[in-house]
Every structure is written in C-alpha cells, then in structure tokens.
C-alpha cells in the first residue's frame, strides 16, 4: 500500500547520559528499535507519573522533524539536533499530518504515533529567553511512538508515513480508541464539543493519548511489581 509521504531518517539518538539529566542522548548511525525503545535510553520521570510520564511501551521513541529543528535554529534558538531529547529526526514528512494513530514504516520496523511530546520547563537552554512554548504549536510538536514491529533503524533509511494504510488510523476517527460518538466528530471535552475544531481536536487527542498512556503505564508498573 502506498505511503502518504516518504522521508529520510537523518539522525538517531540512543543512550541517555549519566546522572539526572537524560538528554541530549548519544548519537548513533544505527540502532535497534524494541518495544521498550532504544537500548541504554532512560527517562528522568517514571512512566506512571501524574502528568502521563515518559518512556514505557507507548512512548518508546520520541521522534521529531529535521526541518522544524533547523527552522528553530534559524530563528536563533540555541538548540541543535538531539538537544531536546528526541530519539529520531526525520526529514521530508508533512509534520502536521503526524497525529496519534499515524504510522511510520522504516524498513522492517513499524512504529505508531501515540501522543504529542510537549516541550517543558526542563529545556529553557534550548530556546531564546527560555521560551520553550514557541515549539508547542500545532504541527511542531515532537511525537511519541510505540514500536509495533521491532527492527533496525539506520541513518539514511527511508521513512514511510501511513495514514489510512497498513492499519494506521488517527485515534479521533477510530471508535476502538475514542468511542463511536467521538469518531463521528462529537467529542466533548469539559462540556464543549471540540470535534470540529482543529486546535480542539489536537488538544483532545493529546488528552486522550496521555490518559491511555497513564493507564497502560500504571498497568505495566503494577505487573512488573508482581
């Protein structure tokens, strides 16, 4: 089945540095994506943190757009590739199309977007005057991915974006994720219908994905303790 777009893996970042800070991660030319992410990677906060946490199978990889990083650099923000904690940088994909439920196939490896990864107060050094909110906009978010099929990823590999093919389906249009009413555009959040609003839809997807992640993460943590 044909992809919506085909990009290229430009950077891979794997092992987190020693100490409390977990980024920037070590660059690599090749790594194996597993259900738990890249070997040696770790996160400062637990997967079941109150706000949704980091890591775990639903947030195994943090992926971002090469073009967005270069654009922010061009605006004078003191960042570089990998400085925001991303595991993969991919060029050539329409980033505004990458929402929870979209899938990217890289060789034999298959990953699915599960949630947006907002920039936060821990990264002021990457932005002018510490204003990390400039990157928290529709079409600019880093994105968390679950690994559906494990496999190797190399710099230079083609990255196929799928929406509506190879099983990919945006969560808001998938009744198995958000229910039939939400899938029909009748999603209500705090008493307001946000199903027809672009910004509302993005926010709703983020909330839904974070809730799913928190529930799954808590379940995984509980299972590991048994």
pLDDT value at residue 148: 97
Side-chain-side CA neighbours of residue 190 (13 Å): 4
pLDDT value at residue 195: 47
pLDDT value at residue 42: 66
Distances in Å between the Cα of 110 and the Cα atoms of 77, 146, 162, 219 are: 32, 9, 10, 24
Phi, psi of 27 (to 5 degrees): -75, 150
With b for 16 or more beta-carbon neighbours within 10 A and e for fewer, the 192-214 pattern comes to eebbeeeeebbebbbbbbbebbb
pLDDT value at residue 180: 82
pLDDT value at residue 90: 98
pLDDT value at residue 175: 86
pLDDT value at residue 21: 66
List of the chain residues with pLDDT < 70: 17, 19-22, 42-55, 121, 132, 185-226
17-74: per-residue pLDDT in tens?
Answer: 676 666 778 899 999 999 999 987 766 665 655 655 566 889 999 999 999 999 999 9
Distances in Å between the Cα of 62 and the Cα atoms of 13, 27, 128, 141, 226 are: 10, 14, 23, 10, 28
The reported pTM is 0.77
pLDDT value at residue 216: 46
């Amino acid at each position: 089945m044909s992809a919506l777009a085909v990009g290229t893996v430009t950077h891979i970042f794997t092992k987190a540095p020693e100490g409390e800070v977990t980024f920037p991660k070590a660059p690599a030319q090749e790594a194996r994506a597993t259900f738990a992410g890249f070997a040696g990677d770790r996160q400062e906060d637990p997967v079941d943190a109150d706000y949704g946490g980091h890591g775990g199978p639903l947030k195994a990889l943090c992926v971002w757009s090469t073009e967005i990083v270069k654009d922010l650099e061009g605006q004078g923000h003191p960042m570089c590739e990998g400085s925001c904690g991303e595991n993969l940088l991919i060029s050539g994909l329409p980033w505004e199309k990458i929402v929870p439920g979209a899938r990217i196939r890289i060789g034999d490896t298959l990953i699915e977007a599960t949630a947006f990864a907002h920039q936060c107060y821990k990264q002021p050094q990457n932005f002018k005057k510490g204003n990390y909110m400039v990157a928290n906009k529709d079409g600019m978010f880093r994105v968390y991915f679950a690994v559906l099929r494990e496999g190797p990823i190399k710099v230079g590999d083609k990255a196929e974006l799928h929406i509506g093919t190879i099983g990919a389906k945006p969560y808001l249009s998938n009744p198995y994720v958000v229910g039939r009413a939400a899938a029909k555009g009748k999603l209500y959040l705090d008493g307001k219908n946000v199903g027809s609003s672009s910004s509302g839809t993005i926010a709703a997807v983020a909330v839904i994905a974070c809730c799913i992640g928190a529930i799954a993460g808590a379940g995984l943590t509980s299972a590991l303790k048994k």
